[in-house]
Amino acid sequence: MSTEQRRARREARRRERARRRARGLAAVGLLAAAGLLAAVLLSSGGSSSTGPAAHSASATAGAHARTHAAGSGRGSGGEAAQASGAARRGVTVPILMYHVINPPPPGAKFPGLYVPPEEFAAQMQALAQAGFHAVTMDQMLAHWTHGAPLPAGKPIVLSFDNGYQSQLTRALPVLRRLGWVAVENIQLTGLPPSQGGLSEAQVKELVSAGWELDTQGFSHADLITLGRAALRYQVAVARGEVQRRYHVPVNWFCYPSGHYNATVIAEVRAAGFLGSTTVVPGWATPAEDPYRLPRLRVLGGTSPQALLAQITAARSAAAAPASYP
């Protein structure tokens, strides 16, 4: 090969290397532009004004990020993505409603609200054997909104209304043996210790045992019949009083007798409650209005098997209505 031919071949190889470098730099530039465009889209809420090409770049970048997070699952980014997904999905939770944990006395006005202690204990054992584990309303909401972990098992909330002494003396020992907690929906007046109500010291004992303290207001009033000032007293002022006495958040309101309407809901929301519970049967879900969460009333004479059947049947119930009754 002549000197001239060797020189021409070297020049051809040099030009080919230069073309390759140029193509590589162009590809890097395109990738950088796509990444910048995706970041702009994300920061602006994904506005459609940037056109189809921008959406395509954003979707590609997002898909890559999701694939990386799902594929790793080991670093903090993967764990955060998984936690966020769990929070959005959440779990449906049955909320049970109890009143007096004692046999009904002769002439009781509402004998169905009395559940004998041995019946209650059998129900709790059946729930545990069915894989349930009691949680509080705050724990349920933290799981729904932040993906906070719940105890092992299927979550269920055990709520107790009005503040009867038997909830401390009869229910607490049963739940303590299971390592469970419950929710006390206290009313501040109308049920003194002389009539079977909890004293302040006894309420504090429940709080010390890990129970969540929420409220039904001052006097179990029918809220839908009240004027603005009386309604505020039963909701906002009552919340402040429970917080002052017991130094707890009081994030949930329980509608007395289950009565509510749009005005009542607005007052409960304005008072700072995070949600409220009804007497409409069903399971609580993260997709529904937190100010109309359903509950299942447990009546005296309910066998453990009947309770499990009641819980299962209520899972397909419709959402609570806009007002009740």
Domain ranges (residues) in the chain = 3-72, 92-314
Q: Does the pLDDT at position 228 exceed 80? A: yes
Q: Does the pLDDT at position 169 exceed 50? A: yes
Task: Give the pair of three-digit tokens for residue 135.
Answer: 């949680």
pLDDT at 20: 54
Residue 227 CB contacts under 8 Å (≥ 6 apart), including other chains: none
More confident call, 40 vs 231: 231
Task: Give the pair of three-digit tokens for residue 79.
Answer: 């764990």
Q: By the 8 A CB rule, do 240 and 211 touch?
A: no
Helix, strand, or coil here: 44?
A: coil
pLDDT at 6: 54
Peptide bond into 325 cis (omega under 30): yes
Q: Does the pLDDT at position 96 exceed 50? A: yes
pLDDT at 30: 38
- The structural architecture, per CATH, of the domain 92-314 is Alpha-Beta Barrel (3.20)
pTM of the predicted structure, to 2 decimals: 0.74
Q: By the 8 A CB rule, do 37 and 54 touch?
A: yes
Average pLDDT, the chain: 82
Q: Does the pLDDT at position 69 exceed 60? A: no
212 phi/psi in degrees, rounded to 5:
-85, 135
- pLDDT band for 90, please (50, 70, 90 cuts): confident
Q: Does the pLDDT at position 52 exceed 50? A: no
